[in-house]
Amino acid sequence: MEDARTTNPKSTIPGWRVILSDKGRLWASRVLPFTDAETDVGADRTVDADTLDELRAEVDRHEAIAREAAGRVTS
């Protein structure tokens, strides 16, 4: 049986599992963890928001942090 509070991560936010809490808050957890370097500069694997648009923005923000950190490592 599938939990109705969990949405399909591929159709909602690719690479992230989206969950609706029992309090109505949306959470997203990255399927693959960030590297230690990405985490050290602030990329969080789990984020939350009130709306799906806000959640997508938070995911995008943390992915951007990770990309910036990855760029520092390779530069």
Nearest to 30 by CA among 68, 54, 63: 63
pLDDT digits 0-9 by tens, 38-56: 999 999 999 999 999 999 9
For residues 16-38, average pLDDT: 96
Q: Can you list the alpha helix ranges (DSSP code H) found in the chain?
A: 9-12, 36-40, 52-74
Only one residue has tokens 């990770």, namely 66
List the domain boundaries for the chain. Answer: 9-74
For residues 4-18, average pLDDT: 70
Tokens of 72: 């520092």
% of the chain at pLDDT higher than 70: 81
Q: Which residue has the higher pLDDT, 8 or 50?
A: 50
CB 37 within 8 A of CB 30: no
Q: What is the per-residue pLDDT for 12?
A: 85
